[in-house]
Amino acid sequence: MTYTPMSKQKLAFLPTPVAELEQLTARLGGPKLYIKRDDQTGLALGGNKTRKLEFILADALKKGADTIITAGAGQSNHCRQTAAAAAKLQMECHLVLGGEAPPAITGNLLLDNLFGAHVHWAGENRKGEDIPELVKQLKSQGKQPYVVPYGGSNELGALAYLEAFKELQLQQQQQQISFTHIVFASSSGGTHAGLALGAKIFNSQCQIIGINNDKGEGDAVPLQDKILTLANQTATMINAQVKLDSADIQLNNHYIGQGYGVISQQDKAAISLLATAEGILLDPVYTARAMSALLDMIRTNQFSSNDNILFWHTGGAPALFAYADKLGC
């Protein structure tokens, strides 16, 4: 099926590798596990947001923006990659971060500073609630600001992961693999919407399973509904003649635990297991939660021994350094 292409600004090193997790598979006794390394997208130590920013910042440049604004948690991977992309494109960057300024600058926040971003602390508002006022201030200074949505999760961000699914289709052909499941961290919804749309457009039988790690307190719309709406809005934007329904969006809510950014013993165990088995680092907020869920699903026989499961690594390892005390390191 064809769809209308959109312009993008090259920022990422693509395609990212697909590798078999032989040692992890052996330790678990199957099924066969693979990993898609979007932690190696290249910009600012990598991550899934770089793919999204290629489309979003192309739109910003097209509209004449000279200043980028986005929001996230204090250790936001999205904000770190946005700051790096803005630096590469020589645009001013403002980050509205939840929480208060910490006594020590480390992890993603250290990188935000190295990339020259202007950081605004917003207390409990980590999802951009304070951005409208900042936009007014910057416009009054003669700047042309462009707001990148939370997590880069709009139609352009979702389109990036439709393109990523297309990339994966070619890799499966080249490596003669057929994945039965794709498991990944689902939070702001853009990655999930794009992968689900890709599966629909390319008529894939692979199950797309997002692992929710956020209770969504204060959110007016449940995450699954957001993902479905975004997937269909993206399909409309690119003139793809498909429509997704709720059955196309698999969001596993059983592993939220204490919520966003609260690392559990299971998360720590997942980080340790992948590090010692494969030499691959997970981040403490997203991919550790998704991997710990995948491990539990395997151990509780939610997959068959014949399945080929792809873990889509969305990045975030720089945050490990900010969580050293919680990881017991």
Count of residues making up the chain? 329
* The pLDDT of residue 261: 75
pLDDT at 125: 80
At a CB cut-off of 8 Å and minimum separation 6, what does 105 contact? 113
What's the distance, Cα to Cα, between the start and end of the chain in Å? 50
Per-residue pLDDT of the chain (329 residues; tens, 9 = 90+): 789 999 999 999 999 999 999 999 999 999 999 999 999 999 999 999 999 999 999 999 999 999 999 999 999 999 999 999 999 999 999 999 999 999 999 999 999 999 999 999 998 887 888 999 999 999 999 999 999 999 999 999 999 999 999 999 999 999 999 999 999 999 999 999 999 999 999 999 999 999 998 877 667 789 999 999 999 999 999 999 999 999 999 999 999 988 777 899 999 999 999 999 999 999 999 999 999 999 999 999 999 999 999 999 999 999 999 999 888 75
Q: Tell me, what's the pLDDT at 217?
A: 62
Query: For residue 329, what pLDDT is reported?
Result: 59
Q: Cis peptide before 145, with omega less than 30 degrees from 0?
A: no
pLDDT at residue 229, as a whole number: 98
Domains and CATH numbers, the chain: 18-47+153-327 (3.40.50.1100), 49-152 (3.40.50.1100)
Q: 212 — phi, psi (to 5°)?
A: -75, 135
Strands 250-252 and 18-20: unpaired
Residue holding tokens 């975030």?
316
DSSP letters of 168-228?
HHHHHHHHT---SEEEEEESSSHHHHHHHHHHHHTT---EEEEEE----TT-SS-HHHHHH
The active-site residue out of 7, 76, 186, 305 is: 76
For 13: left if phi > 0, alpha if psi spans -120 to 50, otherwise beta; the answer is: beta
Chain-centre distance for alpha carbon 186:
7
| Closest of 308, 290, 324 to residue 39, by C-alpha | 290
Sign (positive or negative) of CA dihedral 290, 294, 300, 303:
positive
Output the pLDDT for position 218: 65
Buried b (16+ CB within 10 A) or exposed e, 197-207: bbbbbeebebe
Asked if 76 is an active-site residue, the reply is yes
Q: Whole-prediction pTM value?
A: 0.96
Cα-flanking dihedrals φ and ψ of residue 17, to 5°?
-70, 155
Report cis status (omega within 30 of 0) of the bond before 31.
yes
Chain mean position to CA 293? 16
